[in-house]
Amino acid sequence: MLEDVKRVLVEAINVDADDVKPEANLKDDLGIDSLSAVELALELETEFDVRIEDEELAKLETVQDIIDIVNAKK
């Protein structure tokens, strides 16, 4: 799952693949702002066929949080 999420982050948000680790903070380590987060959510929804609500999106802080929510919704 990490590799799938990493691919989405690299393709959708243009983050450096080497920076994408489970413990990486989306804002501090990867530079994802609120606009990028919305774009990321749309890409994750399309890629994994899940729905991420706005309040869930606001709680995502790390790459592991993304992995956890996608796994929970699949």
pLDDT digits (tens, 9 = 90+) for 13-71: 999 999 999 999 999 999 999 999 999 999 999 999 999 999 999 999 999 999 999 99
Contact assessment for residue 22 and residue 64, using Cβ atoms and an 8 Å cutoff: yes
pLDDT recorded at residue 74: 87
Distance CA(8)–CA(4), nearest Å, equals 6
What structural domains does the chain harbor?
2-73 (1.10.1200.10)
Contact assessment for residue 5 and residue 63, using Cβ atoms and an 8 Å cutoff: yes
pLDDT recorded at residue 37: 94
- Residues noted as catalytic: 33
